[in-house]
Structure 1
Amino acid sequence: MARFWLSLLLAVSLLAPSLADGKRKYGIHGHKAPKLNVGTWFNLPKGKKSIDLPELRGKVVYLLFFQSWCPACHSHGLPRMKKLVREYEKKDVVFLVIQTVFEGYAVNTPAKAEATRKQFGLDIPVGHDGGPERSRVMRRYRTGGTPWVVVIDKEGIVRFDDYFLANPAARKLLDRLGKEQHSENI
């Protein structure tokens, strides 16, 4: 029993400095959302070749980063998002899914991103960012893997970024951000 308490004390003492300084290893919560700059998109609105955040200013944006071979993306991330898309289709919320490849480059291809979109019946834009070593979007957003959710407010500020966002919490956040006023001067 003494060994357990000693181990716990050691773990807490090692974690405490990183928690105390407020720095997070992953994510950019509270910062301006970087441009996406995704080169490959599927299911864009007619006449569009790409989509990026500056043109979405004034809307709440819900991003889901995934990989086609990610089990948690298939069991949680994509099904949760699909439900939210249906619930918020008439509201000022934009949903985007981006395959952010950081491993399995031969498997997580643009074609697999589109196949995953069809598999889940997602009628929203789906992008593919498979940089040569690690997705550029992942680096800019400092994501910790997949599935990773980022919610951006109307002003372009990241208000949530982490693994899973359960739908009750997502609804609460999306509803609150939807009610916030958008400043045209920003």
Structure 2
Amino acid sequence: MSFGINHRPAPELRVPVWIGPDGAAMAPLQLADLGEGMKVLFCFQDWCPGCHSRGFPTLRLLVDRLAGQGVGFAAIQTAFRSSAKKDAGDQTAKNQLRYGLSIPFGYDPVPEGAEQPSVMEDFRTAGTPWFIVISAEGEVIYNDFRLDAAKFLASMDLPDV
């Protein structure tokens, strides 16, 4: 099985539980809610060491560097392990606070009768940490475990801050 859906239209999000940048519950997020520009989705597990050692620091760097550049961000806890299913999303808000990320955070449990969360199914992810980058035109342009922040930022030709 190949992973990712690069060069395909991004499917709409089906994540049922969301908290907004302020930590308050919000309606389910749609990709359009992240703005008209590029979108970066970060999938994580609370128990995942790589999410905390590499994923969240990369996300934090990107959010800081791309503030005001028209890039939309969201983090999604994909609960694909039995231990993650038990927290019912409690770790989602804790991680938002822990990393000081004022972006929407979603909790995507495995739906009844399904084998994996909707984001994993729709974007064909292979685990966590996982980054998905969607162009302003709605095409998935990156979909993989690691995102090299320096290369990604260099490719964007951003003005110096």
Point out the structure with max Rg over C-alpha. Answer: 1
Which of 17, 25, 39 is the matching residue for 1:40? 17
TM-score by length of 1: 0.75
For the 8 Å contact 1:61–1:151, the answer to whether it is kept is yes
1:50 aligned residue: 28
RMSD: 2.1
Which of 75, 85, 91 is the matching residue for 1:97? 75
2:93 aligned residue: 114
Residues in 1 aligned to 2:28 and 2:40: alpha-carbon distance in whole angstroms: 17
Identity between Structure 1 and Structure 2 (%) = 33
Shift of the 169–109 alpha-carbon distance from structure 1 to 2, 3 Å rule, reads farther
Residues in 2 aligned to 1:127 and 1:170: alpha-carbon distance in whole angstroms: 24
Q: Secondary structure at the match of 1:81?
A: helix
Residues in 2 aligned to 1:147 and 1:48: alpha-carbon distance in whole angstroms: 24
Q: Secondary structure at the match of 1:90?
A: coil
Residues in 2 aligned to 1:92 and 1:26: alpha-carbon distance in whole angstroms: 28
> What is the one-letter code of the residue matched to 1:28?
I
Q: Secondary structure at the match of 2:41?
A: strand
Q: Secondary structure at the match of 2:90?
A: helix
Residues in 2 aligned to 1:118 and 1:47: alpha-carbon distance in whole angstroms: 14
1:139 aligned residue: 121
> What is the one-letter code of the residue matched to 1:129?
D
Residues in 2 aligned to 1:154 and 1:168: alpha-carbon distance in whole angstroms: 20
Matched, 1:155 2:137: yes
For the 8 Å contact 1:69–1:108, the answer to whether it is kept is no
Shift of 1:55: 4.1
1:8 aligned residue: none
> What is the one-letter code of the residue matched to 2:18?
W
Which of 141, 147, 153 is the matching residue for 1:171? 153
For the 8 Å contact 1:28–1:158, the answer to whether it is kept is yes
Q: Secondary structure at the match of 1:100?
A: strand
User: Which runs of 5 or more structure 2 residues have no equivalent in the other structure?
Assistant: none
1:79 aligned residue: 57
Shift of 1:92: 0.5
Aligned length: 153
Shift of 1:131: 1.4
> What is the one-letter code of the residue matched to 1:62?
V
Shift of 1:43: 2.1
Q: Which has the higher contact order (CA 8 A, sep 6+)?
A: 2
For the 8 Å contact 1:67–1:108, the answer to whether it is kept is no
Shift of 1:169: 1.7
Which of 35, 41, 45 is the matching residue for 1:63? 41
> What is the one-letter code of the residue matched to 1:128?
Y
Shift of 1:49: 2.0
